[in-house]
């Protein structure tokens, strides 16, 4: 009876360790590809309407003091442009 080696194919019909690992790597790649659209969707920004954006501050809160603000007029989570004196419900203080 032949023994299966970790590094050499034995020539028999039973899958060896190498084939098992290759199938596992292929399955993981397929999973990563399948998961990518969800990741990309998670990276989409909210519209101004969804975020309740307004072009003026709310009380003492404004984009300029928000951790999501990217000067001069962008936001990490709301579609731009946004004004430094704007505000949305996604405001997060620095």
| Contacting residues toward ligand SF4, per CB under 6 A | 51, 53, 63, 66, 68-69, 75, 77-78, 82, 86-88, 90-91
Query: ω before 72 within 30° of 0 (cis)?
Result: yes
Q: Of 16 and 77, which has the nearer Cβ to ligand SF4? A: 77
DSSP 94: -
Q: Of 18 and 61, which has the nearer Cβ to ligand SF4? A: 61
Smallest gap from residue 44 Cβ to ligand SF4 (A): 14
Residue 16, helix vs strand vs coil: coil
Residue 12, helix vs strand vs coil: coil
């Amino acid at each position: 009876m032949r023994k299966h080696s970790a590094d050499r194919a034995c020539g028999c019909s039973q899958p060896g360790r190498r084939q098992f690992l290759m199938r596992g790597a292929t399955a993981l790649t397929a999973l990563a590809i399948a998961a990518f659209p969800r990741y990309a969707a998670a990276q989409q920004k909210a519209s101004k309407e969804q975020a309740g954006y307004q072009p003026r501050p709310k009380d003492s809160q404004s984009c300029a003091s928000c951790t999501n603000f990217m000067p001069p007029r962008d936001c990490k989570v709301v579609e731009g442009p946004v004004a430094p004196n704007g505000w949305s419900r996604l405001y997060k203080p620095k």
